[in-house]
């Protein structure tokens, strides 16, 4: 059976008397069963000769084309926004790949289905489905209609930017067109909070298990995720960390563009917190530290992030009587706008992800009030280029926030000094990063070849 949106809708209508969540479960179970390794091998034997003839060969050493063509699959719809960091990253990568194709998985309420050309060698395709579980099947249909030609399937390698809907979509497409497949794991789905974050996440856990059991090439965002995958999926032969890059030049360039509209015009001072709101988050400390200044109606704390503990943090602000001054912004695509509009970054977290936020904020010219980490102590000097506070010193955070509010000269001093440090101390060669990222993806070719050797 072909997995089209019409067929899936027919299955849904056929079981109309069943609870919607159970119907989705039935279909998902059917799909996973129908795409088992045994059934895949059986279908390959039945594949039409015409389909086999249309398959283009993989990159080989004697190929005249030196750059690969990549199909990226993502659930991040911010790539559709011209000024987003996600789209800027893909634009920067366009010089090291022959072609970049980006398949964006979205639901109908988020975006419209369509195709856009973002650069000479870069295209983006949007699914826009009615039900989230249809995304992998519609993705296969779009890949066929947009990327399959008489001389074969256009991309050389398929890269899923998450192991969930993107992972299943990428796996289906890679298997259908006999392309190499790599999955990127950027979110730690092993923690208990992941399942609580979204009702769909129980299905995403199953998808991740399904995909990673079949993937040979995996890239992770952190060492923690890497170690957890090593323990659970021992068969993976090509597992590595993604090259780290803060895209400083793009952030600086974007920060110098004028803000189209101030998102917080009613406030004279905006403190910004950015981070995942799980039970490891230290937002409680940031709220406690800012509570004395948040009694003023002209001051607010904007929290960019989402997670299972968000309601608990909102309740804490309510108990302290400052709930109207604490604004929660779940849309991560608005991060750059918030960085450009805020007056100070208040970062009490000490994770790898928060280090990246601090560097982005400094590059954007946002003054810093941050918890100490080895990286931050190495880069910044307390009182000269930023305020550094021991991570558990809530009183210290509060005192330095008040000092910053009352000393206007610190704003321009911190802004200029921190920005200059980022430019000079963290100068990165964009080309070196792009080549490292490309090499990390193209490693999939040699890793899969090595597994085929006797």
pTM value > 0.85: no
Query: 5-35+67-245+435-452 with 259-425: one CATH topology?
Result: yes
Nearest C-alpha neighbor of 274 from the set 323, 330, 315: 330
Residue 241: helix, strand or coil by DSSP? strand
- Please, which pLDDT band fits residue 334 given cuts at 50, 70 and 90? confident
Euclidean distance between CA atoms 225 and 340, whole angstroms = 31
Instruction: List the beta strands (DSSP E) in 56-207.
Output: 69-74, 99-104, 114-119, 122-126, 148-149, 152-153, 157-160, 180-185
Whether the per-residue pLDDT at 384 is higher than 90: the answer is: yes
Euclidean distance between CA atoms 260 and 378, whole angstroms = 35
Share of the chain above pLDDT 70, in %: 82
pLDDT the model gives residue 48:
41
Residue 84's CB is within 10 A of a number of other CB atoms, namely 20
pLDDT the model gives residue 299:
96
- As a whole number, the mean pLDDT across the chain is 83
**Which residues are CB-contacts of 130 (< 8 A; sequence separation ≥ 6)?**
5, 9, 107, 108
pLDDT the model gives residue 249:
74
- How do residues 309-327 score in pLDDT, each as one tens digit? 999 999 999 999 999 999 9
Q: Where are the domains of the chain?
A: 5-35+67-245+435-452, 259-425
**Which residues are CB-contacts of 417 (< 8 A; sequence separation ≥ 6)?**
384, 385, 386
CATH homologous superfamily for the domain 259-425: Glycogen Phosphorylase B; (3.40.50.2000)
pLDDT the model gives residue 10:
52
CATH assignment of 5-35+67-245+435-452? Answer: 3.40.50.2000
How far is the first Cα of the chain from the last one, in angstroms, to the nearest whole number? 35
Nearest C-alpha neighbor of 280 from the set 199, 205, 351: 351
CA 428 to chain centroid: 21
Stretch 26-37: mean pLDDT, rounded?
A: 56
Stretch 196-218: mean pLDDT, rounded?
A: 92
**Which residues are CB-contacts of 45 (< 8 A; sequence separation ≥ 6)?**
none
Task: Rank 1-5, 30-34, 232-236 by mean pLDDT and report only the highest.
Answer: 232-236
């Amino acid at each position: 059976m072909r997995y089209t949106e019409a067929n899936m809708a027919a299955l849904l209508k056929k079981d109309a008397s069943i609870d919607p969540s159970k119907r989705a479960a039935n279909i998902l179970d059917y799909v996973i069963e129908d795409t088992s390794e045994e059934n895949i091998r059986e279908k390959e034997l039945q594949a039409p000769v015409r389909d086999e003839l249309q398959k283009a060969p993989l990159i080989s050493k004697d190929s005249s084309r030196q750059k690969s063509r990549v199909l990226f699959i993502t659930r991040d719809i911010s790539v559709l926004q011209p000024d987003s960091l996600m789209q800027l990253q893909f634009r920067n990568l366009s010089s090291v790949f022959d072609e970049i194709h980006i398949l964006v998985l979205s639901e109908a309420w988020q975006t419209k289905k369509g195709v856009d050309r973002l650069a000479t060698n870069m295209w983006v395709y949007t699914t826009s489905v009615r039900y989230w579980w249809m995304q992998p099947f519609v993705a296969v249909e779009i890949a066929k209609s947009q990327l399959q030609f008489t001389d074969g399937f256009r991309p050389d390698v398929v890269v899923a930017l998450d192991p969930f809907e993107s992972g299943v979509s990428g796996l289906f497409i890679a298997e259908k067109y006999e392309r190499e497949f790599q999955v990127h794991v950027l979110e730690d789905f092993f923690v208990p909070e992941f399942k609580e974050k979204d009702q769909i996440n129980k299905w995403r856990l199953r998808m991740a298990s399904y995909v990673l059991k079949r993937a040979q090439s995996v890239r992770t965002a952190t060492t923690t995720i890497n170690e957890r995958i090593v323990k659970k999926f021992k068969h993976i032969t090509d597992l590595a960390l993604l090259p780290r890059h803060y895209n400083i030049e793009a952030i600086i360039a974007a920060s110098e563009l004028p803000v189209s509209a101030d998102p917080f015009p009613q406030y004279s001072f905006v403190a910004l917190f950015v981070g995942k709101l799980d039970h490891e988050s230290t937002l409680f400390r940031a709220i406690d530290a800012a509570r004395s200044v948040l009694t003023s109606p002209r001051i607010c704390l904007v929290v960019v992030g989402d997670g299972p503990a968000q309601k608990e943090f909102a309740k804490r602000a309510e108990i302290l009587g400052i709930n109207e001054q604490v604004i929660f912004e779940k849309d991560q695509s608005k991060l750059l706008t918030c960085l450009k509009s805020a007056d100070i970054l208040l970062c009490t977290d000490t994770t790898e992800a928060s280090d990246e936020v601090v560097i982005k904020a400094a590059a954007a010219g946002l003054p810093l009030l941050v918890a100490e980490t080895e990286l931050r102590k190495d880069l910044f000097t307390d009182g000269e280029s930023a305020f550094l506070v021991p991570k558990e010193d809530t009183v210290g955070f509060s005192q330095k926030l008040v000092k910053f509010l009352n000393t206007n000269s610190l704003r321009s001093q911190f802004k200029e000094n921190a920005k200059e440090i980022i430019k000079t101390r963290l100068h990165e060669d964009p080309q070196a990063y792009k080549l490292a990222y490309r090499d990390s993806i193209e490693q999939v070719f040699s890793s899969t070849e090595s597994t085929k050797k006797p």
